[in-house]
Amino acid sequence: MEAYEDFALVYDTFMDETPYDEWCSRILSVLRQAGIEDGLVLDLGCGTGSMTERLARAGYDMIGVDLSGRMLDIALKKKEKSGLDILYLQQDMREFELYGTVRAVVCVCDSLNYLLEEEELKETFALVNNYLDPGGLFLFDFNTPYKYGTVIGDCTIAENRDDCSFIWENYYEKDSGLNEYDLTIFVREEGGLFRRFTETHVQRGYAPETVRRLAQEAGLCWAGAMDADTGGPVGPESERIFAVAKEQGKDGNSKR
């Protein structure tokens, strides 16, 4: 699983059109319908803290976990500016540890797609189930094979800004379901010169039925899923799925 390094410096710039507010509203709606209006919530794969900050402003006691120290550095700067009480931990989601349980776990912006093996996804789901309060919720999204193979696979995306630009080259491998993207980024530094750096990231698309099976095998109770872009039912051309699963086991309930 790759950690964001130099790309972290410009991540928020190039992600400024990400619908965080829309995602947050959906998360808050699900949480409040379940009666979870406050308490501890974990943002797993929190990145630069964009969703963590929003949920903290909504009244939750937030913990953010991410593998990348550089992404967390930016999250901490946001925390200093906002004054919000957020605990950030640098941990691998496949092995994360908390001091106790939380009322809910959220994981958005295809963080789970960095887990390249089904067993890694299942292990992460099992940890989530372990650290959830009885009946707690896991709200997460993931990209599908359709998105990688049909929508963005084997294409090049470029974007130019005043102080930075990037070239994003995708390579999709159908047999393995892996999508590799090579990033070439140019950032203006003091003196007006641009620094060039590159990073390679690999993600794997997961079919909804696979994710549901792995979540259930890990002990979670599947509560439902929707097309994250339309809010409608999941279909063969859904690119990103928003799913909800529920903790089970701590109260003796084994129904799925």
Domain 147-204 = CATH 1.10.357.10: no
CA–CA distance from 121 to each of 49, 93, 172 (Å)?
A: 22, 10, 20
Burial class for 136, CB neighbours closer than 10 Å (0-12, 13-18, 19+): buried
The widest CA-to-CA distance across the chain, in whole angstroms, is: 64
DSSP 8-state class, residue 181: E
pTM, two decimals, is: 0.92
Which one is the CATH code of 6-143+206-246: 3.90.320.10, 3.40.50.720, 3.20.20.140, 3.40.50.150?
3.40.50.150
Q: How many CB atoms lie within 10 A of CB 226?
A: 18
Q: Is 133 exposed, middle or buried, given 0-12, 13-18 or 19+ CB atoms closer than 10 A?
A: middle
Strands 86-90 and 240-246, by their bridges, are unpaired
Domain spans of the chain? 6-143+206-246, 147-204
Cα–Cα dist 253/168, whole Å: 46
**pLDDT at residue number 68:** 92
31-73 confidence digits (pLDDT tens): 999 999 999 999 999 999 999 999 999 999 999 999 999 999 9
CA angle 127, 112, 179 (to 5 degrees): 145
* Predicted pLDDT of residue 1: 61
How high is the pLDDT of residue 162?
82
Residues in the chain where the model's pLDDT stays below 50: 252-256
pLDDT value of residue 43: 98
